Amino acid sequence: MTEKFAPVDQILKEHGCDPAQLIPILQQVQDLYRYLPEDVMRHIADKLEISPARVFGVATFFAHFAITPKGKHIIRVCNGTACHVKGSSFVINTVKDKLKLKDGQDTTEDGLFTLECVSCLGACGLAPVMVVDEVVHGQITPAQAVKLIDDIIAAEAKNA
């Protein structure tokens, strides 16, 4: 049991088991697991001697924290003001349709993609902007977005 959480304990130790450091702790833990599993959050609460509710509270409050696993490929479409007035909603709707995502759903059934709509990546000069696995694509059109997704699907099928 304790071994299972050894990497988490290391992170807690670096932060001196200080409850005030909860957010940086969760950030590092999320980097490790790519999301915040419930048992890990309970473990953190135990070690910090705070209630699990406080940990869940923080984890669900901030947009950066995910309590469900994310897809293999992360597509982030900027919907900041500059991107919005330059038509990012057309891109978002097209990607949603393409990935068959229902309202409120952000990860595809097969776990291949997660779509995130973010507020301003600061690359307003290139609006509208879409980031696929950390690669920034500026002045993107709906058709280009579909092509990028098709390319990933094709590459995945080839590897499978």
Partner 1 sequence: MPKKTIEQISKEYNDAYKKITGRVTICGGTGCIAGGSMKVYDAFQEELEKRKIGYCLNITKGCHENYISMSGCRGFCAAGPLVSVNDVFYTHVKPEDVAEIVEKTIMKGEVVDRLLFVDPNSHKHCKTIAEIPFYSKQERILLHDCGRINSEDINEYIAHGGYAQAKRAYTQMTDEEVCKEIMESGLRGRGGGGFPTGKKWDLTRIEKGPKKYVICNADEGDPGAFMDRSVMEGNPNAVIEGMMIAARAIGADEGYIYVRMEYPLAVKRMRIAIKEAEELGLLGKNIFGSGKDFDIHVMEGAGAFVCGEETALIASVEGRRGMPKVKPPFPSQSGLFGKPTVINNVETLATVPKIMEMGAKEFKKIGTLTSPGTKTFAVTGHIANTGLVEVPMGTTLRQVIDDVAGGTTNDDGTVNKAAFKAAQIGGPSGGCLTKEHLDIPLDFDSLKSVGAMVGSGGLVVMNEKTCMVNVARFFLEFTQRESCGKCVPCREGTEQMLTMLNDIVEGRATLKTLENLEDLAKAVQKASLCALGKTAPNPVLSTLKHFKDEYLAHVVEKRCPAGVCKALARFEIQADKCKGCGMCKRACPVQAISGEVGKPHHIDPKKCIKCGGCKSTCKFGAVVTGA
Binding region for partner 1 (CB under 8 A): 18-24, 26-27, 54, 57-58, 61-65, 79-82, 84-87, 89-91, 93-94, 97-98, 118-127, 129, 136, 138, 141-143, 146
Q: Give the CA radius of gyration of the chain.
A: 18
Looking at residue 107, what DSSP letter applies?
B
Q: Which is nearer to partner 1, 4 or 93 (CB)?
A: 93
Least distance CB 76 / partner 1 (angstroms): 10
Least distance CB 157 / partner 1 (angstroms): 19
Least distance CB 53 / partner 1 (angstroms): 11
Question: Judging by DSSP bridges, how do beta strands 73-78 and 135-137 pair with one another?
Answer: unpaired
Q: Which is nearer to partner 1, 73 or 78 (CB)?
A: 78
| Nearest alpha carbon to residue 44 among 86, 34, 57 | 57
Least distance CB 87 / partner 1 (angstroms): 6
What type of residue sits at position 104?
G
Residue 153 neighbours by CB under 8 Å, 6+ apart: 112
